[in-house]
Each structure stands twice: as C-alpha cells, then as structure tokens.
Amino acid sequence: MDLLFPAALRIITAVALIYFGLGLFNIHWLMRVRAIAALSVGALLVGAVGWPLVRPELPVATITLVNGSISLPGAIGCVLLAFSAGFIAFFVSWPAGKILAPYAAPTGLAIWAMFSGNMHQLLLDHYEPARRETLYAALRWEGFFWLLICAAGYLGVLAASRLVGAKILILGQFNSDKPKGTAILTNILLAMGITLVVSWVAVGIFVQDVHQVDPELGTVVGQPGNRQIAFGVFTAFCISAYLVKYTLKIGYLPVAAASVLLTFGGSMALLRGQTLSHLAGNWPIAYFNHAVNAITPLQMVAFAVLGSITGYWMAVKFHHLSWQTH
C-alpha cells in the first residue's frame, strides 16, 4: 500500500497536467481525453508490461544495452510491445489516431527513462579513461536500438491506418507546398542538419546543472537530473520540429531520427583529441564537456521523439486551418 499510493498520486498528477496543459492551447476536451488514452496505452503496454524486459539488476542502475541486462528475446519483446501499442492507440484515440497514436511507444520509453539511472551512475563503473572511451564508443550506436522501438510503434500506427483505409502522410501535407522528387531528400537532409544545430544549442541551454569554467574546454557541466533532461530534450526537439515544419514543409520523422545523430556527434566530440582524458584528469566523474554527453541514449530518443511530434503538430495548429490536411 505504501508503494501504490505514491504511484497512484503520480499518475493522477500526470493526467491532470496533460489535460489542463493541452487546454492552454485551446484543444477541445474530447481531443484531450483521446490524447490521454493514447498515452495510457503506451504507458501500460510499453512502460509497465515491458519494464521487466529492460529493468536493470540494481534499482539505481542505468537502462542500457552496455551492461547486458537486456537480452535478445527481451529486445524483440520490446519491439513487439511497441508495435502493439501504436496499433491499439490508433483505435483508442480514433478519429485522431494519426496524430495521437505515434505518442504511444515513446511514452513507454519515457517512463523507462525517468526510472533509469543517469549517465553519472553508469560512469561509476567506467571511471578509468580507457573504460570511459570504450563506453562512449558503444553508447554512440545504442540510440539506434531505442529509435527502432519507436519506429515499431509508428509501424503499428501505419498498420492500423491501412486496416481502416485511412491515409497517413509521412513526410508532408496534401497541398502543393509539399516537396516533391529530389527536393524531398534534400529537405530531409536539411531537416536533420537544422535539428542537429538547433538541438545542440538548445540542449546546452535547457539541460542545465552546475557550470564550471575550464581553461581548455571553456565550461563543463554537472550531471542534470532526469526531470531536467526530460524538459530540456523535449523542448529542444519541439523547437526543431516546429522550425522544420514551418520552413521545409515536411514531417517530424527526420527530426526524431536526428536524435541518434546528436548522441553520436556528442560522443565523437568527447572522444576527439584529449577532451576525455582532460575531463578524467581534472574533474569529478559527474562533469561533462557538453550536456548532450550527460544524457543516456534512452533518454535522448524517448524525449526527442515526443518533442518532435509535439513541435510538428504545434506548427500545424498555428499555421494551418486543419490537421486533416496533414
């Protein structure tokens, strides 16, 4: 009972914040209920049912592929649960399934990310410079696994839409402003480039902790908390998706995909030259050259995908007459 009451209180608080938060954007109450329903599907199927598949041995440990706590059957189970969540959420949130159902899978990942240990706790087992280098060399690829789970959820949404004959436009809208031919590929690459630049700067601004001056690196940043990471990454990719939709007229998929490239780029910047050895020799283990490297791949992908979807639909709401044309 002592555990159930705090959990129930958190759930009630989250539902209330989502409901009244969406109301600030003049979203109809029925749409808000559908949104909560879609998020609940992801929270239950992926977040709760999938938790035993990714749960680390120690409660404070970090959820990652590096420590070997996620088996191959567990990874496959996560993908299947994400697909099911997207599929079911489409019908639960009907007729707004194409808007709300893609939230399901990353919502489950976000729950894992909030309960996961942070990068500092992971580095406690890799405190030597050589082991840190090995760790970051592995982590730069891990984001692709978490993105695969989100992609499985999106495929579930597409499968459900195909079943009922509804059309989902993956990269744009119906109107003539939609890029065509080779312009689509160009805009996708531009979208990812814009996202990398904007999110690198925005994460450095919004994912805040103690900053210290360093003569070689300029500044170093302490380990942010999980809530700060959630806010900062979500906001950074929400801004990126909004700008991409407004300027390039394409969807949020390239923006979400750029999250793994941001982690990859952060790791490469850390591994380049003497940055890592300088940090290890001059600063406590909880300090990083940039906030991007203080974020685990799971946290980056989960909150980036949620922010990308939100930023895209915010741009649609503020600059278009109806979501029906997107």
Kindly report the pTM of this predicted structure. Answer: 0.90
Cβ neighbors of 4 (< 8 A, separation 6 or more) are: none
pLDDT above 60 (res 276): yes
Q: What phi and psi, each to the nearest 5 degrees, are found at residue 238?
A: -65, -45
Q: For residue 234, what are its two tokens?
A: 């979500």
Nearest alpha-carbon partner for 294 in 198, 219, 195? 219
Q: What is the reported pLDDT for 1?
A: 42
Q: Is 3 helix (H, G, I), strand (E, B) or coil?
A: coil
- Render pLDDT for 57-83 as a digit per residue (tens, 0 to 9): 888 888 999 887 888 999 999 999 999
Q: What are the boundaries of each domain within the chain?
A: 4-325
Mean pLDDT to the nearest integer, 148-156 = 96
Greatest alpha-carbon span in the chain: 61
Tell me which residue has tokens 């994400």.
82
